Amino acid sequence: MRTIKKEHKEKSGQELAELCAQTALDTKAEDLVILDVQGQSSFTDYFVIMSGRSTRHVQGLAESIESELRTKRVNSKNCEGLREGQWVLLDFDEVVVHIFYKESRSFYDLEGLWHGAKKIPFSDGQE
């Protein structure tokens, strides 16, 4: 089993979340937000939430993020929903990525559910 590359092993959860976010933005993700759920969640520290324009776009976003992190030897523990493309969840331990088909995102309203979580600004200046 390959280990995480040294330069990525020491990255914080926030840096990993920002890497996921930048990869998603490079793949044209929409309405991207990073939520800091430390102290509110027992299973992760950050959520990266985004929308895709179609089920195929949602699948492409998930594949791009997994591929980019795999090149750094960071593998997801779990990937759910990829086949359907309505809501894909990628679990990277400290970071959980949620990729929604636009219409599904408003129905599940994760930002509303985690309304107490702090939004983290990331390098491209968006929040």
pLDDT tops 50 at residue 3: no
**Percent of the chain residues past pLDDT 70, beyond the cut:** 88
CB atoms closer than 10 angstroms to residue 120: 17
pLDDT tops 90 at residue 71: no
Lowest mean pLDDT among 28-32, 95-99, 104-108: 104-108
CB atoms closer than 10 angstroms to residue 59: 19
pLDDT tops 50 at residue 4: no
| Inter-CA distances, 47 with 5, 26, 117, Å | 23, 18, 10
CA 93-97-98 angle, to 5 degrees, is 135
Could you tell me which CATH number the domain at 12-108 has? 3.30.460.10
Q: Higher confidence at residue 23 or residue 74?
A: 23
In which band, very low, low, confident or very high, does the pLDDT at 78 lie, cut at 50, 70 and 90?
Answer: confident
Average pLDDT over residues 1-14: 59
Indicate the DSSP class of residue 94.
S
Give me 37's structure tokens: 């759920």
